[in-house]
């Protein structure tokens, strides 16, 4: 993404609102301008997701895994989504509760519908979803390659082949099953 020039402009706000903005900026360790830029970017991103745009989603679910067939239902929902599910992380919080994070990529309206189905599943106690439009990252219609595929730019991290990424998973599965 090319670097944009900063533009200075005046904004009129109530004194009390400016004081609240300054408190929030202090709490986040930034200045007023950085905070307002972040808030504006977030709102522009949320607004662009109202359209059918390419996006990423991170869905967080906290649930009681003793609820009958809940794990199977959540897994089935993810399988129905196919390649839209890019990654999942499952954490055991205690003897009854699990936290699952599902990272998805697809059209924003489809991601919202999928997240809604997951969050509405009986037994899900709490959760939420965050969405990021690809265009906000400069990935939309720019013709650039996706961050989730091979790409051409210098950086220190390697891109493992599909063959090399399956071996560690198998090793972990064998360790868990006692082989």
Cα–Cα–Cα angle for 164, 82, 87, rounded to 5 degrees: 50
Express as a percent the part of the chain with pLDDT over 90: 51
- Per-residue model confidence (pLDDT) at position 77: 92
Query: Do 42 and 62 share a domain, yes or no?
Result: no
Query: What is the domain extent for residue 90?
Result: 52-138
Question: Cβ(61)–Cβ(117) under 8 Å?
Answer: no
pLDDT value of position 136: 75
Residues 72-113 have pLDDT tens digits of 999 999 999 999 999 999 999 999 999 999 999 999 999 999
101, 120: one domain: yes
Average pLDDT over residues 104-123: 93
pLDDT digits over 157-170, tens only?
554 443 333 333 33
Q: Look up residue 84 and give its two tokens.
A: 């839209």
Residue 27 lies in a domain: yes
Asked, for residue 166, whether it belongs to a domain, the answer is no
Query: What are the Cα distances from residue 130, in Å, to 16, 38, 59, 63, 168?
Result: 30, 15, 7, 18, 29
- Report how many domains make up the chain: 2
Tell me the mean pLDDT in the region 138-143: 54
Residue 176 clears pLDDT 50, i.e. is over it: no
Residues 35 and 69 in one domain: no
Higher pLDDT, 125 or 175: 125
Residue 155 scores a pLDDT above 60: no
The 10 Å Cβ neighbour count of residue 151 is 11
Decide which of 65 and 42 is more confident: 65
pLDDT band of 139, cuts 50, 70, 90: low
27 and 85 inside one domain:
no
d(Cα 18, Cα 55) in Å, to the nearest integer?
A: 33
Q: Does position 22 have pLDDT exceeding 50, yes or no?
A: yes
- Is 61 inside a domain boundary? yes
Count of Cβ atoms closer than 10 Å to residue 8 Cβ: 5
């Amino acid at each position: 993404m090319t670097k944009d020039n900063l533009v200075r402009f005046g904004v009129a706000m109530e004194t009390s609102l400016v004081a609240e903005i300054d408190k929030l900026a202090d709490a986040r360790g930034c200045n007023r301008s950085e905070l307002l830029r972040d808030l504006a970017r977030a709102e522009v991103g949320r607004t662009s997701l109202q359209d059918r745009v390419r996006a990423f989603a991170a869905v967080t679910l906290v649930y009681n895994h003793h609820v009958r067939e809940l794990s199977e239902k959540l897994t089935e929902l993810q399988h129905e989504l196919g390649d839209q599910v890019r990654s999942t992380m499952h954490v055991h919080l205690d003897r009854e509760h699990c936290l699952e994070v599902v990272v998805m990529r697809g059209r924003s309206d489809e991601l919202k519908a999928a997240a809604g189905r997951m969050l509405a599943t009986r037994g899900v106690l709490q959760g939420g979803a965050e969405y990021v439009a690809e265009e906000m990252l400069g990935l939309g219609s720019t013709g650039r390659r996706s961050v989730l595929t091979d790409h051409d730019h210098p950086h220190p991290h390697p891109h493992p082949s599909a063959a090399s990424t399956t071996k560690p998973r198998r090793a972990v599965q064998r360790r868990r099953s006692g082989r």
